Amino acid sequence: MERSHYLTAPDGTQIWYGTVGRGPALVLCDGLACDGFIWPYVIDRFIDDFTIVRWHYRGHGASSVPKHPEKISLDQMCDDLALVLDALEIDQAILAGHSMGVQVILNFCETHQERVRALIPICGSYKHPLDTFHGSDLMRRVLPYLRRAVDSAPQAIQRTWETVLPRQIWYKVAVQAAEVNGQLLRQQDFLPYLEHASRMDLNFFLSLLSALSLHSAEELLSEIAVPALVIAGENDTFTPMYRSVEMSEMLPNSQLVVVPQGTHVAPLEMPDLVNEAMETFLIKHGLLAPPAHTTSPAQRAPSSS
């Protein structure tokens, strides 16, 4: 059973975090507008080997929206992560990040690399993610107009955002637009993301999106000495595979795994492949004991529902 806790950041923001399992720490860092939907299969696989730490960024899930959402930054979020590790008395941890979580764990290394045992960036970018979203910088150019629209009628637009379409319809749109692989992804695995995203404070969401669009860890990558496993989805339209290839090439001690036909939610589409890659990586670097009997799990390809 997950053990849940809260801490209070210096600015008064309440940060939720939870732990399950036992052993060395494996910290899971979510994507934007996510509160853990991407991690169920990872948790199931590694719960017996690690103390798995989940936490909700400020403005996400069970954590509170900060008093000044327009001032949100990746540095703030990394400070929150340091507070979580302090609260749990964790000196060092393996950090896994999905989507925006890749930017978080890379940025964390800039000031706290001594607290990092290894990095597992999954389906994310190391710089300016809005410049490559769907193969263009259109999202970055449109973002200022979206912010002005929300500022002009915040309550009305927030209500529209929360109620505009049933979540099942958004799932079908995502499948039709090839944002996710409907042949591999179970609908029930994706709906929690849509539910959480619909409850996000839009002012905070757009402020954070702006901060992400300006962030780059490119100059930092060559200074990150810890082992890294970069996992990419072959058909990821949010954070394209070539960004993961570049990241892996610039990290001094890294390897790259590409999930065939995987999209931005590859850990849900091909969980066995992702988990096996993580297991092999962790054993290689002495972070996980090899199993007594080594077998290759059968690749699961769930049907859509």
Given a contact cutoff of 8 angstroms between Cβ atoms, the answer to whether 144 and 151 are in contact is no
Which of 166, 161, 165 lies closest to 201 in space, CA to CA? 161
Is the pLDDT at 293 greater than 70? The verdict is no
Q: What CA–CA distance (Å, rounded) separates 277 from 299?
A: 12
pLDDT given for residue 148 in this prediction: 84
The mean pLDDT of 93-120, rounded to a whole number, is 97
Digit-coded pLDDT (tens) for 249-265: 999 999 999 999 999 99
pLDDT given for residue 167 in this prediction: 62
Digit-coded pLDDT (tens) for 73-98: 999 999 999 999 999 999 999 999 99
Is the pLDDT at 146 greater than 70? The verdict is yes
Q: What CA–CA distance (Å, rounded) separates 30 from 122?
A: 10
Among 68-77, 167-176, 215-224, which is the least confidently predicted range? 167-176
Given a contact cutoff of 8 angstroms between Cβ atoms, the answer to whether 54 and 18 are in contact is yes
pLDDT given for residue 296 in this prediction: 46
- Based on DSSP, count helices (H) and strands (E) in the chain, helices before strands: 11, 8
Given a contact cutoff of 8 angstroms between Cβ atoms, the answer to whether 32 and 99 are in contact is yes
In the chain, the amino acid numbered 264 is: H
Is the pLDDT at 267 greater than 90? The verdict is yes
Bigger pLDDT: 272 vs 198: 272
Given a contact cutoff of 8 angstroms between Cβ atoms, the answer to whether 229 and 255 are in contact is yes
The mean pLDDT of 222-228, rounded to a whole number, is 97
Q: What CA–CA distance (Å, rounded) separates 57 from 34?
A: 9
Given a contact cutoff of 8 angstroms between Cβ atoms, the answer to whether 83 and 201 are in contact is no
Is the pLDDT at 183 greater than 80? The verdict is yes
Is the pLDDT at 172 greater than 80? The verdict is no
Given a contact cutoff of 8 angstroms between Cβ atoms, the answer to whether 117 and 226 are in contact is yes
Share of the chain above pLDDT 70, in %: 91
3-class SS at 305? coil
- End-to-end C-alpha distance for the chain, whole angstroms: 28
pLDDT level of residue 224 (50, 70, 90 thresholds)? very high
Given a contact cutoff of 8 angstroms between Cβ atoms, the answer to whether 278 and 260 are in contact is no
The mean pLDDT of 13-28, rounded to a whole number, is 97
Residue by residue, what is the 3-state secondary structure of 26-62?
A: EEEECCCCCCCCCCHHHHHHHCCCCEEEEECCCCCCC
3-class SS at 7? strand
Structural domains of the chain ordered from first start:
3-285 (3.40.50.1820)
Count of beta carbons in the 10 Å neighbourhood of residue 13: 19
pLDDT given for residue 166 in this prediction: 57
Against a cut of 0.95, is the pTM above it?
no
pLDDT level of residue 145 (50, 70, 90 thresholds)? confident
Strand partners, 93: 116
pLDDT given for residue 150 in this prediction: 78
pLDDT level of residue 168 (50, 70, 90 thresholds)? low
Is the pLDDT at 199 greater than 60? The verdict is yes
pLDDT level of residue 173 (50, 70, 90 thresholds)? low
Average pLDDT, the chain: 91
Q: What CA–CA distance (Å, rounded) separates 189 from 74?
A: 27
Which of 236, 35, 268 lies closest to 125 in space, CA to CA? 236
The mean pLDDT of 64-70, rounded to a whole number, is 94
Query: How buried is 186 (Cβ within 10 angstroms: 0-12 exposed, 13-18 middle, 19+ buried)?
Result: middle
Is the pLDDT at 303 greater than 50? The verdict is no
* Chain length of the chain: 305
DSSP strands (E only) in 88-202? 93-98, 116-122
In the chain, the amino acid numbered 95 is: L
Is the pLDDT at 59 greater than 90? The verdict is yes
Q: Which helix (H) or strand (E) holds 259?
A: strand 254-259
Is the pLDDT at 304 greater than 50? The verdict is no
Q: What CA–CA distance (Å, rounded) separates 57 from 98?
A: 13
